[in-house]
Amino acid sequence: MFVQTDGRDHLDYRRLLNHEFSALRTTASAAHITAHAEAHVQSMVSAGATADLVAQYALPLVSQTLCEVLGLPWTPGSARRMLQVFQGRDLGNADLNSTTTPVDHLVRDLARDALAAPHRYPGLVGRIAAEGIDGRALTEDELAGLAKQLLMPGHVSPTHMLGLSVLVLLEEQPARYAKLAADPGSATDVVEELLHHITVKQHGLIRRAVRDTAVGGALIRAGQWVPCHLDGADTGPAGFAPGRTPVTHLAFGDGPHQCLGQHLSRVVLVRGLSVLARRLPALRLAVAPHQLHRRVAHTVAGVTSLPVTW
Ligand code: HEM
């Protein structure tokens, strides 16, 4: 798992992956992401109210944009399989360490095919399948493992961040939701504030102390492992205040392991929320908030479904 490596090994992996996830590349795809958002709102509307905003909008939008970056096909068949595999998943150790989940079957099929025909994958996966690492061809296991480490966080975190963002806007900040439609330029600040407010990755983040360190009166010895709760660390001034400066939050972590997909996620959230607000200004919950089923015991927070009408 490259996410569990450190130092030089980790840096080499990040260099390999950074290109397709850079801010520049992501900004260049913003128009595509808007078009995908428009199409997914349209298919949700066509299917009729009540809709599940997580399954019918957030997940397909996140999945399609990620597949585009990775160069994976988005045909009706491949999209259906991708959505079935990631519906309701978490980023817990059980899923990450297993080799027999539907995600594992999917990435193994993918790796086999991409190594045989890299040109069919015009994105990160095809590039790595063709080039290998350091002039060495990747094995099927290596490529499958890498794809899993991208597909899992790349689906789970942004899907639930988008779902919870809509919930917060509808229930706590309806004026901000209305403003997104009239003033899409406000979306960047709103999204940054939502990231600060929600901190969707609740736990599962661990660090090892490199030297004896006292934190809040407790001594952590060099070499000890420390579970980090980003939510607890993400304090700062209370309230919901888009545009506050400086914007400091830990929603994407910090340091060398900071989230690879943060630029992509910001654009998906900004475009995804703006399109939704413009197309469905009367969007509202179709159930009372206390009836929502929250993912409390999961690594990534969220609601299992978000029934909405418009
Ligand atoms: C709103 C969406 C997202 C949130 C809130 C989020 C959050 C995080 C957090 C908190 C970390 C841990 C950082 C650390 O250890 O300091 C992380 C790491 C990571 N994220 Fe995300 N993430 C999101 C979207 C994505 C997407 C779209 C991808 C696409 C592939 C992705 C891929 C990764 C990877 C590969 C790592 C491990 C990086 C490393 O260890 O070098 N994430 N993410």
For the stretch 24-82, pLDDT in tens is: 999 999 999 999 999 999 999 999 999 999 999 999 999 999 999 999 999 999 999 99
Residue nearest to atom 6 of ligand 1 (CA): 252
Q: Averaged over 1-6, what is the pLDDT?
A: 84
As a whole number of angstroms, the distance between CA 10 and CA 90 comes to: 23
Mean of the per-residue pLDDT values of the chain:
93
Token output for 55: 């399954």
Give the pLDDT band (50/70/90) at residue 204. confident
Kindly state the DSSP code that residue 92 receives in the 8-state scheme. S
Structure confidence by residue, pLDDT tens digits, 153-170: 999 999 999 999 999 999
If one counts every other C-beta atom within 10 angstroms of the C-beta of residue 77, the result is 9
- Residue 216: per-residue pLDDT: 86
- Residue 234: per-residue pLDDT: 65
As a whole number of angstroms, the distance between CA 255 and CA 257 comes to: 6
**Assigned architecture for domain 2-309:** Orthogonal Bundle (1.10)
| Angle at alpha carbon of residue 65, lines to 273 and 146, rounded to 5° | 130
Residue nearest to atom 15 of ligand 1 (CA): 257
Q: From the CB of 227, is ligand 1 less than 6 Å away?
A: no
- Residue 223: per-residue pLDDT: 95
Q: From the CB of 229, is ligand 1 less than 6 Å away?
A: no
Which atom of ligand 1 is least distant from the CA of 300?
A: 5
Residue nearest to atom 2 of ligand 1 (CA): 158
Q: Averaged over 284-290, what is the pLDDT?
A: 97
- Asked if 99 and 117 count as a contact pair (C-beta separation under 8 A), the reply is no
Residue 124 has pLDDT above 80, yes or no: yes
Helix residue spans in the chain (DSSP H) = 7-21, 23-28, 30-47, 53, 59-70, 76-86, 93-97, 102-116, 124-131, 140-172, 174-182, 187-198, 230-233, 262-279
Pocket test for ligand 1, best of 33, 207, 259 (most atoms within 8 A of CB): 259
What is the domain partition of the chain in residue ranges?
A: 2-309
SS3 130: helix
